[in-house]
Structure 1
């Protein structure tokens, strides 16, 4: 379990979702996050920057393929420099058939990454890739998002899937369309036993105005209430983009999961 009893309260001591400056929308390098993790009392820190891709697709939000060796070196050096902290080498990935071999053979194989995170910051629709920020604003795009999310899980490559409710950033109303798309994803997650992430970064982002009032873009509470009907496991992460946020909002994310009666995933196998 990610949760442990600590002075009578539930305390989260693990974060598997962390970014560095290489993704172009975060700050500082691996060592800065590790130092902050030690200071903030974490026991496990996963470094999971947006992966480089062989064709350098979506370069504005991820490292260049030429930066991959430096990223690996930075994580390996941190492992040696912070023996008191379990540091894992990971990456956050958008799945596509043409990347499967790169993820499996190069990252997990040759470079011995400890794990990969699946995510849907982009998704294919009608022959084009749409951005999930702003792109999940219709019934058709919700269906495409869900279909892509499921295909990513079916790849078998990912230790967990990040922020499945990201679509809430632009689809503003919880209705039959969001319920249908969510049920498809939750059914697949239960069948495939792929954990889903309650993402702490969404709790730090500016709230949005909707017909039902102001709320977080994600986590979106109705999604997680619906998730309680399924045999799934969840994980909470800070999705840190600054060292000072390496443990931010872990408690609130966990409390959301507890409030919804969700079961927590045990990813301890990644640490062995």
Structure 2
């Protein structure tokens, strides 16, 4: 772990127009970060669906495979352009599909990513953000769905592909009652995350969904602290004005819970920052 010269203000999770559901170009997010006095800004748009045969099967979700090199080159160019104003990091948010990740590994290793965020967006082949997906389910079926979600998160951690895991209770986004589904799944998952030498993000985009607040909940963060899970920060901004959103509030909350540090990654090496 490299702790030398670590910057203190950062946001690792921002998107831009390439994914088809965010606004503004990459430079707009970098400029927003500078205006908000951040020292580090990570660009981490959605990776193409490398496990599918089409070049651009989901234009409202991810960028095209053919556009991926352009994404990387643009971030690297802007990293150089703004090097005297802010540290720009090359990241990517990569979906985790069990049994389908070989193509992702092959493509991602071609480029000098500072970090890769692993996110589970689909459970039982249904988007975790699909409104109404829990309607009509029995309590047992709801429990099974939640446990499958955390099984996939465990598998994503064990894959060793990622430095950060994204929004680990985002399934509550349009179903706030998700947090009250009783299961030991989270208690089983957190020690695995701690042993995997990665960080979970505190993601402030939950405020834009029905659940409000952040991902994950304070209750999960308290258990994460107990198991010594590392934490980082990501706004998950899809508009430039949300860059760094609630950074200082998250920092204070983590201190209140008992965390002593949080981290970010440069060249996939962990940078530790005292809270």
1:49-93 per-position Cα deviation (integer Å, ceiling 9, x unaligned): 010122255543111212212212221221222122211111101
Report if the CA contact (8 A) 1:142-1:177 is conserved. Answer: no
Report if the CA contact (8 A) 2:176-2:210 is conserved. Answer: no
Gaps of 5+ in 2: 2-6, 270-275
Counterpart of 1:20 in structure 2 is 16
2:242 pairs with 1:241: no
1:176-230 per-position Cα deviation (integer Å, ceiling 9, x unaligned): 625x121122121122232111111123x1544xxxxxx5374422222232321
Compute the TM-score of the two structures, normalised by the length of structure 2: 0.81
Task: Check 1:131–1:35 CA distance in 2 against 1; reply closer, same or farther (3 A cut).
Answer: same
Q: How does 1:186-201 map to 2 (within 5 A)?
A: 186-201=190-205
Counterpart of 2:177 in structure 1 is 172
Q: How does 1:114-263 map to 2 (within 5 A)?
A: 114-123=114-123, 125=124, 129-134=125-130, 135=133, 138-169=142-173, 170=175, 172=177, 174-175=179-180, 177-178=182-183, 180-203=184-207, 205-208=208-211, 216=213, 218-263=215-260
Work out the number of aligned pairs and report it: 250
Report if the CA contact (8 A) 2:12-2:264 is conserved. Answer: no
1:2-44 per-position Cα deviation (integer Å, ceiling 9, x unaligned): xxxxxxxxx9511111101111221111111111112211111
More helix by share: 1
**What is the RMSD of the two structures over their aligned residues, measured on CA atoms?**
2.5
Q: Matched residue of 1:22: which SS?
A: helix
Counterpart of 2:71 in structure 1 is 71
Give the CA deviation at 1:46. 0.9
Distance of 1:117 and 1:247 partners within structure 2:
17
Give the CA deviation at 1:161. 0.4
Compute the TM-score of the two structures, normalised by the length of structure 1: 0.82
Report if the CA contact (8 A) 2:46-2:63 is conserved. Answer: yes
Counterpart of 1:30 in structure 2 is 26
Comparing 241-250 with 14-23, greater Cα deviation is found at 241-250
Task: Check 1:53–1:258 CA distance in 2 against 1; reply closer, same or farther (3 A cut).
Answer: same
Gaps of 5+ in 1: 2-10, 209-214
Give the CA deviation at 1:271. 7.6
Distance of 1:190 and 1:68 partners within structure 2:
31
1:99-135 per-position Cα deviation (integer Å, ceiling 9, x unaligned): 433333322x222222210111112x3xxx1211244
